Amino acid sequence: GRHNAGAARPGQLALGMVTDVGGLGDKSFNDSAYRGLVNAQNSLGANIQVLQSRSASDYQPNLTALSEKHLDMIYAIGFLMNKDLDQISKQYPQQHYAIIDAVVDDPNVVSATFKEEDGSFLAGALAALVSKSHHIAFLGGQDIPLLRKFEVGYIAGAHQIDPATKVDVKWVGSFEDVAAGQELANVLFNGGADIVYAAAGKAGIGAIDAVKTRQNAFVIGVDSDQDSMAPGKILTSMVKHVDVAVFDIAQAIQQKKALKGHLIFGLKDNGVGLTDFKYTSAVIGRSNIERVDAIRQDIISGKITPPSTPQGLVTWKPVKL
């Protein structure tokens, strides 16, 4: 098997991971987490095992199966596993666990969450700065609370630059339907938006496809660095470094460092952030890049607090700087 290197040798770091129903290949946090795991395999010499889940009722047996193997760390990828992990971690108090995107308050669990709204805020600000039509768009996968953090952060960021910027929002209704992602991106572009922030898993690939043949139009990628998928057409990617979180935790375990119960990954530690505009710096321009960086500092310093829920967005006002 590809993911299962067999039993760990004595002394070797043994890591396990349970994906959520999105599974490997989601081009989102499952993939990103897997990258972190592979990094651990390569640079820490870890032995890794991955179990994929087909439905919510698979989480528990999968977590149990790994727990029975007494690994050094078991990662539960995705907020949907929080209840199950809570239960399993109590059953195996000696076992260490980590969960991504949710908080489980048990002594043997490390929770890692990300400030997606902060990164998305930067993406929105950048889009508002670059947009010629003052009209940008957000394309979401499924309308779930986690994705709403991306949406509202993005809108707030745009409004921070120019409250008159129009932001269209559409949802694919799926993270898989690439064709639908493409057509919806087309609809958004044809509707006048010139930048689409595609936070839609695999369906986002469709948006990247849609932008390739268009002039003066851009997509902002998400989760991983997608900039090279259509060089020059992807303004930037709002990366969410689940891989970094996974790797950091593995490293801490190996070095027997104590871990905090809840790790929050934000802009400061590069847990979230924009890529380095490798292909697009010319289009964006120096001054815009500097403005975005200034906003980044303001968020880190606490001057700006991007909203993370639709309710928060309603009461949120652009911050006078």
Partner 1 sequence: MKVVLRLLAGPAGALLLAFVLAAVAMLIAGVNPVDGFSALIRGSLGGRRPIAETLVQTTALLFPALGISLAFRAGLFNIGAEGQLLMGGLFAGAVGAHLAGPSWLTVAALLLLGMLGGGIWGGIAGWLRARFNASEIISTLMLNFIALSLAGYLVAGPLKSPLASGAETAPLLPNNWLPAFPTIGSLSFGDTRLTISILIAIATAIVLRFVFTRTVFGYELRAAGEAPEAARRSGINMPRMTLIALSLSGAVAGLGGAAIVTGVLHRFNTSLSPGYGYTAIAVALVGDLNPLWVCVAALGFGILEAGGLMMQADAGVPKDAIRVIEGLIILVLAARRYFATRASSAPI
Partner 2 sequence: MSTGVSLMLTLAFLTLIKSVPIVYAALGGVISERAGVVNIGLEGMMTAGAFSAVVFTNLTGSPIVGLIAGIFFGAFLGFILGFAATFFKVDQIVAGVGINLVALGGAAYGLVLIFNQPGASPQVNQLAPEQLLPQITVGETALIVLGLLCAFGLNWFIYRTPWGLRVQACGENPRAVTDAGLDPLRLRLYSVIASGALAGLGGAFLSICEVNLYSDGMTAGRGFIALAAVIFGRWTPWGATGAAVFFGFFEALQYVLQGRISWLPSDAMQALPYLAALFAIAGLVGRVRAPAADGVPY
Q: Which of 20, 209, 223, 227 binds partner 2 (CB under 8 A)?
A: 209
Q: Which of 29, 34, 75, 79 binds partner 1 (CB under 8 A)?
A: 79
Length of the chain: 321
Strand pairing class (272-274; 234-240): antiparallel
Of residues 72, 82, 81, 75, the one with CA closest to residue 45:
72
Q: Looking at beta carbons only, is 105 or 293 nearer to partner 1? A: 105
User: What gap in Å lies between CA 115 and CA 240, rounded to an integer?
Assistant: 9
User: What gap in Å lies between CA 156 and CA 46, rounded to an integer?
Assistant: 41
Indicate whether 264 belongs to the interface with partner 1 (CB under 8 A).
no
Indicate whether 225 belongs to the interface with partner 2 (CB under 8 A).
no
With H, G, I as helix, E, B as strand and everything else as coil, classify residue 269.
Answer: coil
Closest distance to partner 2 from the beta carbon of 169 (Å)? 5
Q: What is the CA radius of gyration of the chain?
A: 20
Which string of x and - marks every residue 102-131 that binds partner 1 (by CB under 8 A)? xx---------x------------------
Task: Say if CB 111 and CB 259 are below 8 A apart.
Answer: no
Structure tokens at 316: 């949120």
Indicate whether 291 belongs to the interface with partner 1 (CB under 8 A).
no
User: What gap in Å lies between CA 272 and CA 268, rounded to an integer?
Assistant: 8
Indicate whether 174 belongs to the interface with partner 2 (CB under 8 A).
yes
Stretch that binds partner 2, among 19-27, 88-96, 104-112, 265-273 (CB under 8 A): 19-27
- With CB under 5 to 8 Å by kind, the binding choice for 225 among partner 1, partner 2, none is none
Beta bridge partners of 17: 50, 75
Closest distance to partner 2 from the beta carbon of 191 (Å)? 8
Structure tokens at 230: 């259509």
Please state the φ and ψ torsions of residue 166, each to the nearest 5 degrees: -90, 130
Of residues 155, 164, 150, 169, the one with CA closest to residue 127:
155
Residues 161-180 that bind partner 1 (CB under 8 A): 173
Closest distance to partner 2 from the beta carbon of 133 (Å)? 13
- With CB under 5 to 8 Å by kind, the binding choice for 183 among partner 1, partner 2, none is partner 2
Closest distance to partner 1 from the beta carbon of 263 (Å)? 15
Of residues 213, 208, 212, 209, the one with CA closest to residue 197:
208
Closest distance to partner 1 from the beta carbon of 152 (Å)? 14
Residues 50-69 that bind partner 1 (CB under 8 A): 51-52, 54-58, 60-62, 64-66
The contact set with partner 1 (CB under 8 A) reads: 1-4, 20-21, 23, 49, 51-52, 54-58, 60-62, 64-66, 78-80, 82-83, 91, 101-103, 113, 142-146, 173
